[in-house]
């Protein structure tokens, strides 16, 4: 900090020279973030290559190659394809996210050579002077040189109350300005900053919880724990069968273990979400958290901040109505002087300043109280006028609108926002209202409604998503605007200043649709109350007063034109500031997760029947009927191809229920049907005169029939793509079995095998249908 007031003023006015800033950049004194926004390409390659399942498959493949059964090692090709597809998809997603991150990156205003210029956050150097205003997130630790502000440190400390800062005070990186502004000297950069030290410099303190990734991890963990002891036990069992060779035992064990591994499930999950990111990018929507696409699909309550969503965030001054006994010219001059000091403090003041603003004040104000959403007013003390206060009438001077305007405000449009300008001869003390306030004028300001808002809100209502409008403005005004865009339930509104406890808030969010005079802390509590009531909540907002609620929501959406702090904490950013993009955003989330649930069931069927068959064949002490080459054919045609095609289909139903339960319920009929058919074939086949190779062929055929039956059910209702998919995979399986039988270790077709396959195939399809009906009836799937 400079040693004298004059030095401080000079530094604040001039900042660093361009030469000094360039020299410090060369010295490495930049505000570099050691944590990249997305994974590096090298990290992506490593994460996709060195996985537990790849290791298991390599070990099993190596064992099969060692005993000379080369064609049975073809399943390693699926591992290679999965790995390559995963790498390519993640790299594509990374490039899209990086490109959009550049478009939406926060720009920091720094003073260089006496001029204010915007730079990227990583171009800020030690000793820079930053110009800060309301809504800015502080990108580096700094010391306030001039001005005064209130700062929220909620993302650092969890404390929601703003902290007042005066010259000489420290501003911590990761906090943001809720009111006021000034110029500040950068004292720490990069990893030396407070936010980087405590949390690795993440803008969000908590990552959204992914039910899907959690479920997939549980499946992988269970299989991983079991695979080594089960593999050892199964190998010993197969070796102890009379007449078994080492090659047969290793091939059978490899088939059993490969079947247990849902090797494509992780790839499917990542790919579906990655495709969602890329599709949203085409609509100018930036995804900052991949798993938020899952949360989108589950949203059943959407909380809207009026400004920037229903309205454009731009306002226009309608009228200045003087109080009884006040002169209109005098009132206009007061307002102009007030706006000469406060213009830029909020969009409302900017709208007023466009008409009434004196930017040539002869004397600096004595004191200033900047606007904040908590106070709902701002104030300036002048030598000439005394103290002027502009804010919400019911906060500044309750009852004045009814008593001081002779009924002239009775006919004002309900959708207009009304502010009250008051005067007092008493000085400002801190941020408290001065005593003896007298009304001067009512200032009527109107929000500009987005033309597309009505259609967008109608879409959500039709989709069964409850809508809540949460605003800091007057409840009646907000309700009137909501009615203009035909929001269902807009007539049910409440003034949040009447909600005194958390219990009041919990009851109100069930009863009302529109909430006015809501403080930032109350917004957060409303979102939390809805979550406690079992709802999945999305929140849209663009202001600094929305940050706490955006951070609390399951899925948060900010406008690119909104406050920097709001963008930084949100999962999604609408780069075109177009609220009408929201239906596409939600539809993409639903498409991704509904199809992922549907396709994941296909993978889990194989894991279910493989685990059960391993257990049963250990007890039966019989040769395992599958070889890895059989599972390669089944995995490609009855699992891999259909799962990825179905995962990319349109599907706009709201996701409900637990992901793992939904997947298991869909997979159980297929898994149990396969087990019953394979065990019956293994036991009855030799009694009917079939050889071991013929028994294996029939087991592969029946397994494929069950798989195709599941796919047929998942394809309902059929369209041309789904019908073509089913025809293709069935035809490809028959062609592979009949024309490439020796490659896939399938026995030649004979009349007895054809008859057994036909009868058993019909039985397998019927068994699957019956078990599906039972699961649907008793588990309500």
Cα 394 to Cα 392: distance, rounded to the nearest angstrom: 6
107: left (phi over 0), alpha (psi -120 to 50) or beta: beta
Cβ atoms of 631 and 259 within 8 Å: the answer is yes
Cβ atoms of 675 and 612 within 8 Å: the answer is yes
Q: Which residues are catalytic?
A: 305
Integer CA distances (angstroms), 242 to 5, 253, 255, in order: 96, 16, 20
Maximum Cα interatomic distance, the chain, rounded to a whole number of Å:
112
Integer CA distances (angstroms), 66 to 112, 236, 645, 685, in order: 69, 18, 36, 31
Which of these, 232, 211, 223, lies nearest to 608 by C-alpha position?
223
Cα 574 to Cα 110: distance, rounded to the nearest angstrom: 26
416: left (phi over 0), alpha (psi -120 to 50) or beta: beta
Is it true that the peptide bond before 131 is cis, omega within 30 degrees of 0?
A: no
Q: What is the CA radius of gyration of the chain?
A: 33
DSSP 52-104: HHHHHHHHHHHHHHHTT-GGGGGHHHHHHHHHHHHHHHHHHHHHHHHHHHHHH
Integer CA distances (angstroms), 679 to 673, 692, 704, 759, in order: 10, 13, 15, 16
Cα 401 to Cα 410: distance, rounded to the nearest angstrom: 9
Give the CA count within 13 Å in the CB-facing half-sphere of 432. 7
Could you tell me the two tokens for 632? 């390669």
Name the phi and psi angles at 463, rounded to 5.
Answer: -85, 5
Cβ atoms of 340 and 357 within 8 Å: the answer is yes
Residues 6+ apart with CB under 8 A from 395: 375, 376, 377
Cβ atoms of 402 and 383 within 8 Å: the answer is no
> Which residues on adjacent β-strands are paired with residue 439?
422
Cα 223 to Cα 463: distance, rounded to the nearest angstrom: 38
Positive or negative, the CA dihedral 748, 750, 753, 754 is positive
**Long-range contacts at 376-379 (CB < 8 A, ≥ 24 apart):** 376/472, 376/517, 377/433, 378/179, 378/342, 378/345, 378/346, 378/349, 379/428, 379/431, 379/433, 379/434
């Amino acid at each position: 900090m400079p040693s004298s007031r004059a030095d401080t003023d000079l530094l604040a006015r001039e900042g660093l020279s361009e030469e000094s800033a360039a020299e410090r950049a060369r010295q490495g004194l930049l505000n570099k973030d050691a944590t990249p926004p997305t994974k590096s390409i090298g990290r992506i390659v490593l994460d996709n290559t060195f996985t537990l399942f790849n290791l298991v498959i390599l070990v099993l493949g190596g064992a099969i190659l060692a005993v000379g059964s080369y064609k049975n090692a073809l399943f390693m090709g699926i591992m290679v394809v999965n790995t390559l597809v995963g790498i390519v998809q993640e790299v594509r997603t990374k490039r899209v996210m990086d490109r959009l991150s550049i478009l939406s990156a926060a720009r920091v205003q720094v003073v260089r050579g006496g001029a204010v210029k915007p730079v990227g956050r990583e171009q800020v150097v030690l000793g820079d002077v930053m110009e800060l205003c309301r809504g800015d997130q502080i990108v580096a630790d700094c010391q306030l040189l001039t001005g005064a502000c209130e700062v929220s440190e909620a993302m650092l400390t969890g404390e929601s109350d703003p902290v007042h800062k005066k010259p000489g005070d420290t501003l911590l990186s990761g906090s943001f300005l809720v009111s006021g502004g000034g110029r500040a000297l950068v004292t720490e950069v990069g990893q030396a900053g407070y936010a980087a030290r405590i949390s690795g410099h993440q803008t969000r303190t908590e990552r959204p919880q992914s039910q899907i990734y959690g479920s997939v991890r549980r499946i992988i963990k269970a299989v991983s724990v079991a695979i080594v002891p089960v593999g050892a036990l199964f190998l010993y069992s197969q070796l102890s069968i009379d007449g078994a060779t080492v090659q047969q035992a290793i091939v059978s064990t490899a088939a059993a273990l490969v079947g247990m591994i849902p090797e494509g499930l992780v790839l499917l999950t990542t790919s579906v979400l990655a495709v969602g990111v890329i599709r949203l990018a085409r609509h100018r929507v930036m995804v900052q958290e991949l798993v938020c696409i899952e949360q989108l699909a589950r949203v059943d309550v959407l909380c809207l901040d009026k400004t920037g969503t229903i309205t454009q965030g731009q306002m226009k001054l309608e009228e200045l109505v003087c109080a009884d006994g006040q002169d209109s010219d005098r009132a206009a001059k007061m307002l102009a002087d007030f706006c000469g000091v406060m213009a830029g403090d909020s969009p409302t003041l900017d709208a007023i300043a466009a008409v009434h603003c004196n930017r040539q004040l002869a004397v600096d104000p004595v004191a200033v109280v900047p606007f904040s959403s908590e106070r709902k007013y701002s104030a300036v003390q002048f030598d000439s006028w005394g103290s002027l206060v502009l804010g919400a009438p019911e906060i500044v001077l309750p009852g004045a609108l009814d008593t001081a305007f002779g009924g002239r405000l009775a006919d004002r449009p309900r959708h207009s926002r009304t502010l009250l300008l008051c005067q007092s001869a008493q000085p400002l003390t801190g941020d408290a209202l001065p005593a003896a306030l007298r009304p001067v004028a009512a200032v009527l300001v109107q929000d500009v409604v987005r033309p597309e808002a009505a259609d967008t809100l109608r879409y959500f209502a039709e989709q069964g998503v409850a809508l809540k409008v949460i605003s800091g403005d007057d409840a009646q005004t907000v309700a009137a605007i909501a009615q203009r865009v035909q929001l269902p339930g807009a007539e049910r509104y409440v003034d949040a200043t009447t909600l005194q406890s958390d219990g009041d808030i919990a009851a109100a969010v069930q009863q009302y649709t529109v909430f006015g005079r809501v403080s930032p802390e109350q917004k957060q509590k409303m979102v939390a109350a809805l979550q406690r009531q079992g709802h999945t909540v999305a929140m849209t907002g663009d202001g600094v007063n929305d940050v706490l609620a955006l951070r609390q929501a399951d899925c948060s959406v900010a406008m690119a034109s909104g406050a920097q702090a709001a963008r930084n904490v949100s999962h999604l950013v609408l780069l075109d500031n177009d609220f009408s993009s929201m239906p596409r955003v939600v539809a993409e989330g639903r498409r991704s997760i509904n199809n992922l649930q549907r396709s994941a069931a296909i993978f889990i069927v194989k894991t279910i029947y493989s685990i059960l068959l391993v257990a049963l064949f250990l007890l039966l002490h019989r040769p395992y009927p599958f070889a890895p080459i059989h599972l390669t054919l089944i995995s490609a045609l009855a699992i891999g191809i259909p799962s990825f095609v179905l995962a990319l289909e349109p599907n706009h139903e709201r996701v409900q229920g637990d992901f793992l339960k939904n997947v298991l319920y869909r997979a159980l009929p297929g898994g149990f049907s396969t087990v019953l058919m394979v065990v019956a074939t293994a036991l009855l086949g030799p009694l009917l005169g079939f050889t071991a190779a013929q028994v294996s062929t029939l087991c592969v055929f029946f397994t494929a029939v069950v798989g195709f039956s599941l796919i047929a059910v998942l394809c309902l209702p059929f369209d041309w793509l789904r019908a073509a998919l089913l025809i293709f995979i069935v035809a490809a399986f028959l062609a592979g079995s009949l024309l490439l039988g020796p490659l896939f270790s399938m026995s030649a077709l004979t009349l007895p095998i054809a008859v057994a396959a036909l009868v058993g195939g019909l039985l397998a399809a019927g068994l699957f249908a019956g078990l599906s009906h039972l699961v649907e009836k008793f588990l309500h799937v």
